[in-house]
Amino acid sequence: MKPDDLISAVKDPDAWRLQSSAMRRSAEALWDKFSETVLVTMGAGVTDDALFDVSLQYMQTSKLLYGLALETAFKALIVASSPQDIDLLVSMDGTDKLNDVEVRSLGVPSSKGHDLVALAEKAGIFGPAFDCILVDARGKDAFRKICRHLSEMVVWRGRYPAPMRSFDPIELDPTIPTVVIGHYMRDCPMLDAMGVEGSHTLARS
């Protein structure tokens, strides 16, 4: 991408939101495939460990894409509300010709670029603007924990067989009911509230 085009795209919240929608729909397709495959393995008492393993792979990749969809949607909000926090490294020659542009950070330090909790905080997700989705402290806490889990999916668990360095793994809190996890992940009213379209949006159109 040429430098001018990169600057325009990075500053365009609609472009970030469109990319988030694409990843959300892909995540939904894989989640549906995961559900379908699990039903096959459980149907009529059939036990197929290999097929069950494949279903878990669908789920892992689906969660990777949900995490990326959330990350990109948070960045859309940050771009719209805090464009001054887009840190660009620009290289120009003596004629003021733009030669190169690098996005150094977007709203949060580069080391936090895949940290969904940090991005959500910066985007105002836990503030009053989204109280209609996260209606109480328990809902906010559950969503934070899901964001931490999906951050790990984005950083390594959904992409690599091992992380690039050792650390204590982040697991979903077993005290969070499965229906809550599905509500905030598969159905994800938060993505709806941020204007990120999913397959259900296409079905209504």
What percentage of the chain reaches a pLDDT higher than 90? 60
Q: What is the pTM of this model?
A: 0.89
At residue 169, φ and ψ (nearest 5 deg) are -65, 155
User: Tens digits of per-residue pLDDT, 116-164?
Assistant: 999 999 999 999 999 999 999 988 998 998 899 899 999 998 899 888 8
